[in-house]
């Protein structure tokens, strides 16, 4: 399997605070990989670095065969990387439809293709179609998460980075969103999922890394980690 993402000895600091202290991980093409860990472990920092919002202090990132440092900024989106941030980051004063259009800003394949993809998002999440003209900020948390994911998909990413998609949502909505994420991945997107809900992440993904205080503490097949005593005690509340 080809790796769409390879991270080697990555270090990221906020001034004097070393948030990521040298981590190695990879994501294979078409894979669903989870990054789990406690509050402050460094999950968001890792995703923000991959999205080009933070600069690494050291280490290397290879995305889709290219040096990440050479791509940078908007070009990372064009190259196929999409981040759905913690807190969703939708444009609350724009309508659902306008948010989806914004998600396609980096595309050059023309309006008909973009319009067709908006319809595709509406068929994935019919709730968004009903609310196409509603201001995004007035939607429920679950609807906003659906929009955030759809907006990211409008950029036609190769690798989707999701930061805590289950946060603050009712279990039934979380289930619906995760079922959809799995469908999207089957349609040809690769997923790196950050979750504090470790059980959900391990049940969804094939492989996982456990990050603890800026280091990878454990890694393996998701079903093995689900049965790992250390993981059960620390992250699954057993």
Ligand X SMILES: Nc1ncnc2c1ncn2[C@@H]1O[C@H](COP(=O)(O)OP(=O)(O)OP(=O)(O)O)[C@@H](O)[C@H]1O
Q: Which of 5, 33, 43, 52 binds ligand X (CB under 6 A)?
A: 43
Q: Which is nearer to ligand X, 52 or 80 (CB)?
A: 52
Distance CA 154, CA 53 (A): 20
Contacts with 27 (C-beta within 8 Å, 6 or more apart), sequence order: 3, 4, 5, 33, 159, 190, 192
Instruction: State the Cα–Cα distance between residues 137 and 135, nearest whole angstrom.
Output: 6
**What interhelical angle do 96-103 and 111-124 show, nearest 10?**
120
Footprint of ligand X on 158-177 (CB under 6 A):
none
* Interface with Mg ion, residue 166, by CB under 5 A: no
Give the whole-angstrom CA distance, residue 32 versus residue 206.
Answer: 6
* Residue 41 binds to ligand X (criterion: CB under 6 A): yes
Using Cβ positions, the residue closest to Mg ion within the complex turns out to be 44
Q: Which residue stretch of 34-42, 122-130, 216-224, 228-236 sits at the interface with ligand X (rule: CB under 6 A)?
A: 34-42
Please report where in the chains the tokens 């391990």 appear, as a residue: 202
Contacts of 215 (CB under 8 A, 6+ apart): 21, 22, 23
65 or 237: CB nearest ligand X:
237
Given the DSSP bridges, would you call strands 58-63 and 66-67 parallel, antiparallel or unpaired? antiparallel
The span from the first CA to the last CA of the chain, in angstroms, equals: 34
Judged by CB under 6 A, how many residues of this single chain contact ligand X? 13
- Contact flag: residue 42 with ligand X (CB under 6 A): yes
In this complex, which beta carbon is closest to ligand X, that of residue 114 or of residue 194? Answer: 194
CB 41 within 8 A of CB 63: no
CB 4 within 8 A of CB 159: yes
Nearer to ligand X, 37 or 52 (CB): 37
Identify residues 74-93 at the interface with Mg ion (CB under 5 A). 86
CB of 195 vs ligand X, minimal distance in Å? 9
Residues of span 188-227 touching ligand X by CB under 6 A: 196
Residue 17 as a binder of ligand X (CB under 6 A): the answer is: yes
Q: Does 44 bind Mg ion (CB under 5 A)?
A: yes
Residues in contact with ligand X by the rule CB under 6 A: 14, 17, 19, 37, 39-45, 86, 196
């Amino acid at each position: 399997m080809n790796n769409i993402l390879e991270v080697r000895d990555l270090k990221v600091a906020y001034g004097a605070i070393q948030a990521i202290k040298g981590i190695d991980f990879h994501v294979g093409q078409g894979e669903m990989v989870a990054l789990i860990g406690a509050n402050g472990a460094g999950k968001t920092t890792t995703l923000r670095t991959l999205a080009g919002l933070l600069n690494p202090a050291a280490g290397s990132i290879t995305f889709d065969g290219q040096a990440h440092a050479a791509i940078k900024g908007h070009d990372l989106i064009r190259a196929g990387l999409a981040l759905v941030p913690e807190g969703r980051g939708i444009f609350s004063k724009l309508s659902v439809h306008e948010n989806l259009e914004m998600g396609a800003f980096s595309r050059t394949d023309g309006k008909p293709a973009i319009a067709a993809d908006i319809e595709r998002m509406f068929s994935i999440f019919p709730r968004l179609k009903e609310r196409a003209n509603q201001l995004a900020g007035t939607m429920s948390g679950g609807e906003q998460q659906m929009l955030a994911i759809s907006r990211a998909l409008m950029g036609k990413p190769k690798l989707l980075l999701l930061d805590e998609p289950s946060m603050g949502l009712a279990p039934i909505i979380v289930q619906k969103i995760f079922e959809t994420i799995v469908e999207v991945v089957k349609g040809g997107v690769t997923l790196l999922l950050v979750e504090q809900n470790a059980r959900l992440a391990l049940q969804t993904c094939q492989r996982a890394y456990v990050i603890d205080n800026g280091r990878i503490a454990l890694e393996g097949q998701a079903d093995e980690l689900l049965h790992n005593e250390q993981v059960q005690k620390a992250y699954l509340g057993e």
